[in-house]
Amino acid sequence: MKKTVASNALIVTGFNAAGLFLSFFVNIVAAARFGARRDMDIYLVGVSIPLFINAVLQGSLIVSIIPVFAEYQDKGREKVWEVASSLINSLVLATTIVCLAGMAAAPILIRLIAPGFDPSMTGEAAKMLRIYFPSIILTAICMVLTGVYYSHKRFVAPSLNSIIDPVITFGYIYFFSSSMSTKSLALALTTAIAIRTLILAAGFLRDEQFNYRPVLNLSHPGVKKAFGLIATMVVGMLLSRMLPLFDRYFLSSMREGTISQLGYALKIYNVFSMMIVTGISTAIFPAMAEYAILPGKSDLLESMSKGIRMLFYLAIPVTAFMVFFGLPVVVLIYERGGFSHSDSIATFKALAIYMLALPPAVAGAIVSQGYYVLKKNPYIVCVSFVVDIIYVLCCIVLLKFYHALAIPIAFAIYYHCGLLIAGSVFRFGLIKTGGKNIVIDVAKMYAAAVAVSLCFFPLVKYASGNIFLSIPLGALFVCAYFLVGKFALKEKTSELLLVYAKSIFGKLFGV
């Protein structure tokens, strides 16, 4: 059993790592080919609404249906397919209606989210939207099939998804970008999700216990339970995934390339976020779920405390490194082909501010998991609603003074407020104990970063723009941070590094 778990974890981790690398490579290729210009702005706006819907489906379906499928798995695979068939059919029906309505109203939707676009840009973006909108139907099917795979403890086929998208996208850029420009990217996304769905379906067609049926039994207890869980998650996801739509709305009136430059900056930020948070949050979540059902909450709080400390401990030096030494990194990654030096500078300015959100964003993942294991999802919905309002208000106020940079500033405020509100409600409203020591330790980490930053600040200007100086200086900066942090936190640094090592290697080797 332990060997099976380890091998499954190795498969998932390997494919995810390969997918992350390939996706980032394709992002570099797209930047060189299309730059930060009009066509890329049109593409990013055109696919925004389908991407938003897909993000909601991906974030809500898997976590909602796996417990239901696991419950029916004990009764036989036929019972699982009774639920899965009705879920697939009902979701296909619902997403098809949304897709057709969205395609018909494409120009109206584009004008709603990008009022600053001129008529020709609106028309082009509407074409992009129509190309990509059918993906929401395929995403719904794909997510239900993935849930069935996971409930059967089959991981290879779903894990292929992480490498299919970048491979298909690279092919479309290489063969079709000259004639189709950024339409090739929209077609690549739609083709990739179609291939992913076909691969998942093909895997079951060879299975003797495959028992999909064209039924729509909404009164089935399993279907009702699944949709009850999905509904709660969808509301929360609708609120938490809306930021890109707000961004498009505010940025559409600004100069050409602004949407693209902030998009490239956000992709670098997302890579750091995924690298830091995924292993730790995934490793800690099962333990948190077990501790949540125990009478006392001390074990739950201890596991959350270790996770939050570890994430802050790793995110703070990464943030400081990118703020001080990020320009040559951006130049190294993006500046070639259609991506100019002025694009690099604009992207770096946005990235430096986005990175300020990294520590509270990654730590907030553990706090959110605390709500989930305690089955307090409505609290997350309320927090999401409040911080969304804060985000929009910040954008409105700051745009007058900081123009495009108001978006990353509001982004940083959003995550700081989100962690503060969610953490306060969790501490004072649910658990009613703990938290003080975490605040003290995080304050020490920030103090260590500030102290090291003051020492390195005179060298930043000297190394600015020089990758051969910036990378070694950045490495010295990070090492100095960990040394100062070790002194400030004393014996806790060894414990934090042990937590990190277990999160990375524990699943692979069953420790």
Q: Which of 33, 447, 52 is nearest to 234 (CA)?
A: 52
- Residues 271, 347, single domain; the answer is yes
- pLDDT at residue 410 is higher than 90: yes
In a domain, 302, yes or no: yes
CA angle 90, 93, 98 (to 5 degrees): 125
Report how far apart, in Å, the C-alpha atoms of 91 and of each of 204, 237, 428 are.
Answer: 19, 17, 39
List pLDDT tens digits, range 477-492: 878 887 776 666 654 5
Q: Are residues 455 and 492 in the same domain?
A: yes
Query: What band does 418 get if pLDDT is binned at 50, 70 and 90?
Result: very high
Mean pLDDT across 380-392: 89
Instruction: Identify residue 229 by its one-letter amino acid code.
Output: L
Query: Which pLDDT band, with edges at 50, 70 and 90, does 209 fall under?
Result: low
pLDDT of the residue at 151: 67
Contact between 337 and 32 (Cβ < 8 Å):
yes
Count: domains in the chain: 2
Helices (H), 206-296: 221-240, 243-251, 258-292
Residue 506: pLDDT band (50, 70, 90) is very low
Average pLDDT over residues 197-220: 76
Question: Tokens standing for 14?
Answer: 């390997």
Domain boundary among 241, 267, 298: 241
Q: What is the pLDDT of residues 83-118, one digit of tens each?
A: 888 888 999 999 999 999 999 999 999 999 999 999
* Nearest Cα to Cα of residue 273 among 153, 177, 356, 369: 356
Q: Is 37 helix (H, G, I), strand (E, B) or coil?
A: coil
Amino acid at 199: I
Q: Is pLDDT at 503 greater than 50 in this prediction?
A: no
Q: What is the 3-state secondary structure (H, E, C) of 115-139?
A: CCCCHHHHHHHHHHHHHHCCHHHHH
More confident residue, 350 or 322: 350
Which of 185, 207, 241 is at the close of a domain? 241
pLDDT by residue (tens digit) across 217-231?
888 888 888 888 788
Of 230, 234, 168, 222, nearest in space to 198 by CA: 168
* Domain edge (last residue) among 195, 215, 241: 241
The answer, yes or no, to whether residue 505 has pLDDT greater than 50, is: no
Residues 236 and 325 in one domain: no
Same domain, 124 and 226: yes
In 3D, which of 456, 504, 448 has the Cα closest to residue 481?
448
For Cα atoms 282, 284, 290, give the angle at the middle one, nearest 5 degrees. Answer: 115
Answer yes or no: do 259 and 225 share one domain: no
Q: Is 386 exposed, middle or buried (0-12, 13-18, 19+ CB in 10 A)?
A: middle
Nearest to 244 by CA among 136, 395, 379: 395
The pLDDT assigned to 309 comes to 85
C-alpha 114/C-alpha 425 separation (Å) is 35
Given a cut of 70, whether residue 495 has pLDDT beyond it is no
The answer to whether 303 touches 291, Cβ cutoff 8 Å, is yes
Average pLDDT (435-456) is: 81
- 155 contact partners, CB below 8 Å, separation of at least 6: 8, 11, 12, 149
The answer to whether the Cα torsion of 247, 57, 373, 306 is positive or negative is negative
Q: In angstroms, how far is CA 32 from the centroid of its own chain?
A: 24
Q: How many CA atoms lie within 13 A of 364 on its CB side?
A: 23
- State residue 511's pLDDT score: 43
131-135, 287-291, 371-375: least confident range: 287-291
Question: Comparing C-alpha atoms, which of 372, 358, 362 is closest to residue 310?
Answer: 362
210 and 261 together in one domain: no
Q: How far apart are CA 303 and CA 305, in angstroms?
A: 5
Kindly state the tokens that stand for 484: 């100062």
pLDDT in tens, 319-329: 988 888 888 88
Q: Is residue 92 part of a domain?
A: yes
In this prediction, residue 313 carries a pLDDT of 85
The more confidently predicted of residues 450 and 70 is 450
Mean pLDDT computed over 450-477: 73
Residues 224 and 260 in one domain: no
Question: CB under 8 Å to 247, separation ≥6 — which residues?
Answer: 259, 262, 407
Quick one: pLDDT at residue 280? 72
Question: 320 is in which domain, residue-wise?
Answer: 254-511
**pLDDT at position 129, please?**
96
142 lies in the same domain as 271: no
Q: Which of 408-417, 479-488, 497-506 has the highest mean pLDDT?
A: 408-417
Average pLDDT, the chain: 83
